[in-house]
């Protein structure tokens, strides 16, 4: 499960975290991100349009690898998995969700905040984790501290990651990618400002 997830997260340095209010925005938004060099996205289950948005992107933007985020319980996990999306993401973990994730053969990026949570997920074979909320926890210094006692877990830090600190996170050995909403904020999406989103994506995706 972790290997399949690593293969996905190695495709791009940044995973845009998206809140899509109107399903009609999904395809132009995904196209804007792919054009900017960020083909791996996380559509959060925070809006009623989220699952329709995922469906449209999977049908119409073949170059995009779609994950579903903000999965908080086994019921949401089941709904997300049933879409056929490439991977799932949670902000944290509960015992029920952990059992359901490990019973599924589906790439999953589970959220962790403390060293004990990191170790709990690791004990269940989840070797790639979302550190959340990364900047508030202490940012790069926190990740460096984890690397000492737990060198074999790799992270996708998310929460407070921006254009200013993304490179510092990405320079760490135990960081595979970073996630965040700053590439495609709700304001930019609601305004349909696809050009600005492509520009923000291109700034972090490296030379085309
Ligand atoms: C998430 O769900 O991963 C976070 O809301 C993203 O955090 P950010 O808004 O600070 O990027």
CATH of the domain at 41: 3.20.20.70
Domain count, the chain: 1
Q: Coil, strand or helix: which one is 131? A: strand
Cα–Cα dist 84/67, whole Å? 9
Give pLDDT, residue 98: 98
Q: In the chain, which ranges are E strands?
A: 14-18, 40-44, 65-69, 87-89, 108-109, 111-112, 128-131, 154-155, 178-180
What is the pTM (predicted TM-score) of this model?
A: 0.96
Look at ligand 1, atom 11, and give the residue with the nearest C-alpha: 180
Active site residue 130: yes
Mean pLDDT by 10 residues, the chain (208 residues): 91 97 97 98 97 98 98 98 98 98 96 98 97 97 97 98 96 98 96 97 82
Q: What is the structure's pLDDT at 7?
A: 97
Range of the domain at 189: 2-204
> What residue ranges line ligand 1, CB within 6 angstroms?
17, 44, 69-70, 91, 132, 158-161, 179-182
Span from the CA of 87 to the centroid of ligand 1 (angstroms) = 17
Q: Is 59 a catalytic residue?
A: no
Give the per-residue pLDDT at 102: 95
Q: Whose CA is nearest to atom 9 of ligand 1?
A: 181
According to the model, what pLDDT value does residue 208 have?
Answer: 47
């Amino acid at each position: 499960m972790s290997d399949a997830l690593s293969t996905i997260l190695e495709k791009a340095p940044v995973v845009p975290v998206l809140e899509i209010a109107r399903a009609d925005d999904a395809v132009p938004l995904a196209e804007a991100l792919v054009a900017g060099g960020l083909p791996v996205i996380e559509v959060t289950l925070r809006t009623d349009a989220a699952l329709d948005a995922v469906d449209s992107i999977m049908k119409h933007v073949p170059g995009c690898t779609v994950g579903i985020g903000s999965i908080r319980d086994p019921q949401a996990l089941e709904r997300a998995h049933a879409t056929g999306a490439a991977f799932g993401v949670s902000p944290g973990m509960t015992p029920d969700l952990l059992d359901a994730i490990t019973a599924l053969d589906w790439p999953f990026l589970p959220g962790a905040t403390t060293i004990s949570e990191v170790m709990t997920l690791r004990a269940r074979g989840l070797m790639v984790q979302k550190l959340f909320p990364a900047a508030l926890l202490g940012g790069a210094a926190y990740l460096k501290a984890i690397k000492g006692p737990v060198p074999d877990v790799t992270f996708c830090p998310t929460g407070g990651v921006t254009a200013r600190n993304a490179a510092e996170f990405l320079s760490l050995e135990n960081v595979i990618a970073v996630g965040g909403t700053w590439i495609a904020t709700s304001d930019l999406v609601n305004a349909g400002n696809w050009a600005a989103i492509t520009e923000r994506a291109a700034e972090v995706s490296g030379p085309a």
